[in-house]
Structure 1
Amino acid sequence: MEAVKLVEGKVDWKGRAAEKYQHGGLRTSLLILAAFTFENMATLALAVNLITYFNGVMHFSIADAANIVTNYAGTSYILSVLVAFLADTYTGRSKAVMVSIIFEILGFVLLTVQAHLPKLRPPTCNILDPATSQLCVKVDGGNSALMYASIYLIAAGAAGLKASLPTHGADQFDENDPKEATQMSSFFNWLLLAICIGGGVSITFIVYIQDNKGWDWGFGISTVAIVLAMIVFSAGLPLYRYHVISGTAAITEIIQVYVASVRNRRLKLPEDSDDLYEIDRDKEAGVHIEFLPHRDNLRFLDKAAIQTSPDFEDSKSANPWKLCRVTQVENAKIILGMIPIFCCTIIMSTCLAQLQTFSVQQGITMDTTISSNFHIPPASLPIIPIAFMIIIIPLYDQIAVPFIRKYTGHPTGITHLQRIGVGLVLSAISMGTAALIEVKRKNVARSHNMLNAIPVLQPLPISVFWLSFQYFIFGIADMFTYVGLLEFFYSEAPKGIKSISTCFLWSSMALGYFFSTVLVQIVNEATKVNTKSGGWLDGNNINVNHVNLFYWLLTILSLINFFCYLFFATRYQYRHQTTVANKEMKEVVKD
């Protein structure tokens, strides 16, 4: 007979208790990382190059094309919250992944078909030529509906994968096992590495295919990549550890605290916090229950735990919308405390949107020559920071973090909030750099009398690699904030809503992209009186636009945002968690 260790709170694909050495662990997390790599290989080319497709093939103006891209990306990120809720409470994360992949495959198939068949696209013309752009007709009618259906199917699929894959990967590790807990901490760094590897292939190989071999070929390769993601993920279905679906209780308990605190707002808080309601630890020791100590912040929420009756049994049977546990209250405080941090990351996502839209349009006008036979696609410029991150992430995780840990005593080297703050500063520097480079680019166009030059026929005599400075700085910023935010939201959130909490990252990016759309419209409306066109960013000729001023505006907003972040981050209190369980690990006798 062999003693088998079971993982607390995790099951296998048949609903049985997960065995420690048969399910989950590092090997299954590698399958999830591989699936995420293929997914990013399929989609990142869209983020950086769709504006070229919408402008050059579908004949939208630059501003309209930029807004379509940011709306698409924002929708993808915001939908991740809905999918995360469904995955945590109804479907489970693995089912959410599979359904999402099917949506994404369908979207790419439709996009490929439309790019391949001329009758599904508007007639070909040169929209970059001011003399002929008025003759160009943008996509409309049923073809327009097909275009929007395809990109939003992809957005929905990508949302599901963003919501479910990272948390499903973290589920493969046992937080009660010190070795696996360390591996889980590294998992988020490797997740960023997977994104970089897949993204690196996407913005070089796939973007090159789109620009030189045809959009149908590029979209077709993305379709193959997402199919490979489904195959790789499916291979691990019998081996994964699955988080037990929690139902609606976890998110409901948080809402109950807010409702109860309002309903009890007239009650007086006791002088001793021990008088607040909490279940008896000894009586509940047989089940797995989370206990959090009381903290003296956001005291108005403590009113949700005021007992109107000293009788414990009466309190236990009280209306949960009027009386909540101290642990419930502390979880609600954590969620409320994370909201300002979440809001302070939105501007950074707005800055990222510009690198995927206007910076690509800048690159189209510049000299992309590497050799006599090869020109780098402008949309491939982010390969510079991505290549850097592919090198630096393993060094950071395996060398820098252990070294810094010796001096700080923090498991991740520096705290999550410090890491996020570094990224916010670098994003502001990136936008300032982008403004300076745009001034230089326009000066070259003006000095050579090329303000009205057609980029595809007569590029400016300035290398596209000047744009690499802004991409490089923002790439480092992304390395700090991406993992910092994901770990912060995952580690701080209550156990029952970790998928939803990690989607705070995607929600922040969604709101940043949507804000970019609104900001472009506001800037155009506010500046059209002082410009010859419809505003700083209006029209199809970026050489006569004022993108440099728009970048300076984002720099100022980013700096203001950083000081707001400092105010909230220095006041944030990290959670302290203790758990009562019958046994951390159970042993059974297996015949």
Structure 2
Amino acid sequence: MDVSACPRVPVNRPCGLGVAPFYGSTPPAPAAQPATRSLPRPHALLNTPPCPSSPVSQAVTHNTRRSPETESLPERPPLFIRQFRVSDFESSHTHARRGLMAGGAMEDGTREVERWEGYVDWRSRPAVKGRHGGMVAASFVLVAEVLENLAFLANASNLVTYLMKSMHYSPAQSATTVTNFMGTAFLLGLFGGFLSDAVCTTYAVYLISAFVEFMGLVVLTIQARSPSLMPPECIKAVGAAPCEPVSGSKKAMLFVGLYMTALGIGGIKGSLPSHGAEQFDEHTPRGRKGRSTFFNYFVFCLSCGALIAVTFAVWVEDNKGWQWGFGISTIAILLSIPVFAAGSKFYRSKVPTGSPLVTIGKVLLAAASARRGGTQSASNGAVIDRAPSPTGSTDMKEYCKPGNTCAAADEVTEPSQELSGLNRAVQCQPRHRTLACTVQEVEDVKIVLMVLPIFLSTIMLNCCLAQLSTFSVEQAATMNTHVGGLKVPPASLPVFPVTFIILLAPIYDHIIVPFARRVTGTEMGITHLQRIGTGLVLSIVAMAVAAVVEVKRKNVATDAGMMDSAAPLPITFFWIAFQYLFLGSADLFTLAGLLEFFFSEAPPRMRSLATSLSWASLALGYYLSSVLVTVVNSATGRGGHRAWLEGASLNHYHLERFYWLMCVLSALNYVFFLVLAIRYKYRNAGVIKG
């Protein structure tokens, strides 16, 4: 048929729906119209004005008289008109939620699964309750942590010995290098936490970081296996010239391997604890208790990996060579990837919500640039919506309405009085659109700023823990390390605190905490800050014990006339075990308490970054240890005096004075923490206090 012969009518673009007119010489016969039902007007459904001049709108509207210019057109059959329903304009998510409120039964009789709001599975699909999350999912995280910490500590615990014997560094250089390496690794946990909150899920960050750590360990393994990549062998003897330390490209290769490993470790530390904690529903008592148990067993698994590292891996390094030691670490981190991935179908991961650093910076800048008279209060209509808006938007349009007042989408409360100066950041008419802040964002930033002093008060404790991998190892190297016919490597000394943690963690979770719950009548039993404070007290005791043991060790060396001898002193290394036991106990209480404290107190959009503060505290503790060594040597070496931490050997060091100094500083730090803990108000005070 010749379509060009058909009469064509100029059609104006409709304001409602773009329904094309029917063209054809023989249209189908119109169907009979129901007497009791008329079609809705499209422009009414879409809130658009009708177009009376449009032949389309006139054809759709059956009760309107057709214009003369369209009189020749046949009646438009209803077959070509879409019958719109209200459900067409409802989101499937809202429809599903309405069905779920009735127990999961939908209007059509089908049963809809209940989803975890804000969480996805490993394929970025919505996570489903009953299928994703829970202790089963967290168990894969715990096993992966055993392998990851084995890979990390197999090197870190004996790295001082490797640098001294293989790279020809002095004891002070070795200690500084190790503390810098470990400090950087833990500090990069903040980067891993940032990526988990802003860019990727914790699931993806772990897999990427594990691969980076694997590549760094491969570099270290290749260097340790190739004599051409190592400095020349040198036999250290009394009175001989010092050996030439590693330099040039060989030194560059050493540090490339170390800091690639540190980057991977940081990513893992910043994502893995949060990923495990995300598997529990914090809105139920059972979920909160499960999360607390997870953090306890996370430290337990840290210790299990450390136990294998400081026994089997260290023995291999000392007796079979460092290429085998690095090889064990490489295999361990490689195995952790499939172990972690095996739980993929059970995981749920928090959806990244954007950079928390941008939010913090925006709120601080908005508060600083606000007018002096712009402080929000109840009198000017500022209210805080502690729940997210229905649309999930953080735009000020969700909160501000004409008249310079703010309306909360749901429940509203008065602005919190803590850090009230930040309330100025909430302006319904901000000076700059980029500085528009919601009240929820301001409250989130307040929480972060309030936990920072607690974070700072734990740095000194981690400075004490840094001694476990530096001076304490060097102390043990000068002592008798034989147990019967077995010679224990000095780097295996952490076996004492590690074993104690492995024994104490289940007792704490299954005996101490339930007993405390019955006594206090609260859900927590022992609060986070009480756990942290217990760890700080134990660190003070540990430093005092370490000073007393060092005095005894030096007295034995003096009495035996072995101050300049390289032979082992006639004193067993079990004396060092006492300081390890106290520091290990401090680590158990403090690390588990910090991880749970930061995760539970932080805003949901900042949890990975906040949890990483636990590792940042460790990092700054290691850095502070290096700074203290430098400052102490500089201050005590003036006027021709020998510095406390310098000498031909450790026997000539005044290490006991350094330990007493650490003890005093730890006591002052505890007083600072005590003031903060008394004044701190928990975000979930009802849960903490019962």
Superposed pair shares fold, TM > 0.5: yes
Aligned counterparts of 1:176 and 1:424: Cα–Cα separation in 2: 31
CA separation in 2, counterparts of 1:449 and 1:419? 45
The farther-off stretch of 187-196 and 236-245 is 236-245
Distance 2:532 2:666 in 1: 13
* Cα deviation, residue 224, structure 1: 1.0
Q: 1:365 aligns with which of 478, 481, 485?
A: 478
**1:493-538 CA-partner distances (Å, limit 9, x unpaired):** 11101000001111111111111111111111112236764x2112
1:493 maps to what in 2? 602
Q: What 5-or-longer segments of structure 2 have no aligned partner? A: 1-109, 394-408
CA contact (8 A) 1:290 1:577 kept: no
Of 650, 653, 656, the match for 1:548 = 656
* Cα separation, partners in 2 of 1:56 and 1:302, compared to 1, 3 Å: same
User: How far apart in 1 are the matches of 2:135 and 2:481?
Assistant: 42
How far 1:271 moved relative to its partner? 6.2
Q: Residue 347 of structure 1 aligns with which residue?
A: 460
Structure 1 equivalent of residue 273 of structure 2: 166
- 2:133–2:347: 8 Å Cα contact kept in structure 1? yes
> Which secondary structure state, in structure 2, belongs to the residue aligned with residue 412 of structure 1?
coil
For the 8 Å contact 1:62–1:538, the answer to whether it is kept is no
Segment of structure 1 superposing worse, 34-43 or 252-261: 252-261
Residue 23 of structure 1, CA deviation: 2.1
Structure 1: how far apart are the matches of 2:610 and 2:385?
A: 26
Question: How far apart in 1 are the matches of 2:577 and 2:326?
Answer: 26
What CA distance in whole angstroms lies between the structure 1 residues aligned with 2:386 and 2:193?
A: 32
- Distance in 2 (CA, whole Å) between partners of 1:469 and 1:414 is 26
C-alpha change, 1:208 and 1:530, in structure 2 (3 Å) is farther
- CA deviation after TM superposition for structure 1 residue 131, in Å: 2.2
- Letter of the structure 1 residue corresponding to residue 557 of structure 2: A
2:495 maps to 383
State which of 660, 666, 683 in structure 2 corresponds to 1:575.
683
Over the aligned positions, Cα root-mean-square deviation in angstroms equals: 2.3
> How far apart, in 1, do the equivalents of 2:377 and 2:671 lie?
35
The code of the aligned residue for 1:346 comes to I
Which residue is 1:254 aligned to? 360
Contact 1:263 1:322 survives alignment (8 Å): no
1:264 aligns with 2:370: yes
Matches within 5 A, 1:88-487: 88-127=197-236, 129-132=237-240, 134-248=241-355, 250-264=356-370, 266-267=372-373, 269=375, 272=378, 275-278=381-384, 284-285=389-390, 293=413, 294-305=415-426, 307=427, 315=428, 319=432, 324-372=437-485, 374-454=486-566, 458-487=567-596
Contact 2:295 2:592 survives alignment (8 Å): yes
Q: What do residues 78-131 of structure 1 show as CA deviations (whole Å, max 9, x unaligned)?
A: 11111211222112222211111111111111111211222211222234x332
Question: Could you tell me which residue of structure 2 aligns to residue 582 of structure 1?
Answer: none
Counterpart for residue 12 of structure 1: 121
Distance 1:270 1:301 in 2: 9
How far is 1:354 from its partner?
1.3
* Aligned counterparts of 2:155 and 2:289: Cα–Cα separation in 1: 34
Partner of 2:148 in structure 1?
39
User: 2:157 is aligned with what amino acid?
Assistant: V
Residue 382 of structure 1 deviates from its aligned partner by 1.4
SS in 2 for 1:175: coil
Matched-pair contact (CA < 8 Å) for 1:355–1:471: yes
Paired residue total: 561
Displacement of 1:297 = 2.0
Residues 497-512 of structure 1: matches in 2 within 5 Å?
Answer: 497-512=606-621
Structure 1 residue 277, shift from structure 2 partner: 4.1
Moved more, 36-45 or 169-178: 169-178
8 Å Cα contact 1:292-1:330 kept in structure 2? no
Asked if structure 2 preserves the Cα contact closer than 8 Å seen for 1:291 and 1:327, the reply is no
> Residue type matched to 1:564 in 2?
F
1:563 is matched by which residue type in structure 2? Answer: V
Pick the structure with greater CA Rg: 2
**1:63–1:539 contact (8 Å) kept in structure 2:** no
Cα distance, 1:213–1:149 mapped onto 2, change above 3 Å: same
Higher mean C-alpha displacement, 222-231 vs 20-29: 20-29
SS at match of 2:650: coil
Contact persistence 2:645–2:653 (CA under 8 A): yes
Is 1:21 the counterpart of 2:130 in the alignment? yes
Is the contact made by 2:280 and 2:287 (CA closer than 8 Å) also made in structure 1? yes
- Inter-partner Cα distance in structure 2 for 1:436 and 1:426: 16
Mapped partners of 1:291, 1:444: distance in 2: 70
Indicate how the Cα distance of structure 1 residues 382 and 274 shifts in structure 2: closer, same or farther if over 3 A, else same.
farther
Larger CA deviation: 443-452 vs 112-121: 112-121
Go from structure 1 to structure 2 and tell me whether the alpha carbon gap of 1:479 and 1:273 turns closer, same or farther (over 3 Å shift): farther
Q: Look up the SS of the partner of 1:247 in the other structure.
A: coil
The CA deviation at 1:286 is 6.4
CA contact (8 A) 1:433 1:470 kept: yes
Report the residue type matching 2:448 in the other structure.
I
| Distance (Å, rounded) in 1 between the aligned partners of 2:568 and 2:469 | 20
SS in 2 for 1:451: coil
CA distance in 1, matches of 2:681, 2:386: 25
User: Which of structures 1 and 2 has the larger relative contact order (alpha carbons within 8 angstroms, sep 6+)?
Assistant: 1
Q: Which runs of 4+ in 1 moved over 4 A?
A: 268-271, 283-293, 316-323, 530-533
Call closer, same or farther: CA 1:531–1:414 in 2, change over 3 Å.
Answer: farther
Using a 3 Å threshold, how does the CA distance of structure 1 residues 530 and 381 change in structure 2: closer, same or farther?
Answer: farther
Q: Is the 8 A contact 2:122 2:203 kept in 1?
A: no
- Give the CA deviation at 1:19: 1.8
Matched residues, percent identical?
43
Secondary structure of residue in 2 paired with 1:183? helix
Give the drift of 1:66: 0.4
8 A Cα contact 2:192 2:269, kept in partner? no
Q: Distance in 1 between matches of 2:280 and 2:229?
A: 48
The structural deviation recorded for 1:179 is: 2.8
Contact 1:434 1:470 in 2 (8 A): yes
Structure 1, gaps ≥5 residues long = 308-314, 579-591
The alpha-carbon deviation at position 551 of structure 1 amounts to 0.7
Asked if 1:558 corresponds to 2:670, the answer is no
Q: Indicate conservation of the 8 Å contact 1:401/1:413, yes or no.
A: yes
State the alpha-carbon separation in 2 of the partners of residues 258 and 408 from structure 1.
Answer: 39
Q: Structure 1 residue 320: deviation in Å?
A: 5.9
Q: Is the 8 A contact 1:56 1:126 kept in 2?
A: no
How far apart, in 2, do the equivalents of 1:489 and 1:47 lie?
Answer: 26
Specify whether residues 290 and 353 from structure 1 end up closer, same or farther in structure 2 by C-alpha distance, changes over 3 A only. farther
CA 1:365–1:326 in structure 2 vs 1: closer, same or farther (change >3 Å)? same
Asked if 2 retains the 8 angstrom alpha-carbon contact of 1:384 and 1:472, the reply is: yes
Distance 1:3 1:277, change over 3 A: closer
